Amino acid sequence: MARLGFTLAEVLITLGIIGVVAAMTMPSLITNYQKKQTIVQLKKSYSVISQALVSSQAENGTIDEWNLNNIGQMDSSDPNGSYKEILTDLLNRYFLPYLDVVENCGLNCSQQRNIDRYELNRKRLVSWGRQPYYIITLKDGTIIAFAMDVSGSGVYQYLYIHVDINGNSKPNIYGRDIFTFMLTSATKKLNMAGSGSSRETLMANTRRGCNKNSPNDAGFYCGALIQYDGWEIKADYPW
């Protein structure tokens, strides 16, 4: 007489095989999904900020007219005060009116002080709740931290735009959900930090390279690497 079903032992063996296969494939599927979501969100942030710049230039002149190589002079007697005044004026004039801001926390944002963020090498960053970061939150939940660089002669120059594409949600790591853009008068457009460098430099740079062994600012060039690779996260990307 033909057997119409499976024995309990056969069912258990089959379920065991399915469980093993699932355990082997699920982590890879989850990682691939996370990578795709990262690319989608990063491209969206790039588009949103770029479009804001287009709108701003229509009213305020082209980027090369904004004099970002000499935004202002540090007041040595009150460096924090001069930084605050110059950066706040810059953002209020050229950026904030053209972004869909739902919260403007500004400099020394107390809401960010207990949020840990890390370089790609897992080194803890200075809190975004302290100067030099000017914090805003967009309608889609993206958090942007603006900061200026300063030359040896005390001239504020360039604008760094650090973007946490999923807000305060983890992992809060550069190269995973935090990426850095840069705006200068020379480039005249929004660029990823490190843009224009070779792929080898983007990955191996000892200061800001997209690798977990970089001692300082590890991961700052990861956005540029993704863009260089045609908006893909390649197999050798240090995920």
Domain total of the chain? 1
Q: What is the pLDDT of residue 15?
A: 72
Helix residue ranges, H only, the chain: 8-60, 79-94, 199-204, 222-228
**163 domain-assigned:** yes
Q: Is 166 helix (H, G, I), strand (E, B) or coil?
A: coil
Q: What is the pLDDT of residue 21?
A: 67
What secondary structure letter does DSSP report for 123?
P
**10 domain-assigned:** no
Distances from the Cα of 176 to the Cαs of 25, 42, 51, 129, in angstroms?
21, 10, 24, 20
**114 domain-assigned:** yes
Domain around 163? 32-193
How far is Cα of residue 152 from the mean position of the Cα atoms in its chain? 26
Low-confidence stretches of the chain (pLDDT beneath 50)? none
Q: What is the pLDDT of residue 26?
A: 66
Q: What is the pLDDT of residue 161?
A: 97
Q: What is the pLDDT of residue 6?
A: 66
**7 domain-assigned:** no
Question: At residue 72, what is the residue type?
Answer: G
Q: Is 180 helix (H, G, I), strand (E, B) or coil?
A: strand
**41 domain-assigned:** yes
- Over the stretch 181-228, which tens digit does the pLDDT of each residue have? 999 877 778 999 999 999 999 999 998 999 999 888 999 999 999 999
Q: pTM of the predicted model, to two decimals?
A: 0.87
Cβ within 8 Å of residue 185, ≥6 positions away: 63, 64, 66, 67, 68, 69
**101 domain-assigned:** yes
How far apart are the C-alpha atoms of 212 and 32, rounded to whole Å? 20
Question: Residue 235 corresponds to which tokens in the numbers above?
Answer: 């197999």
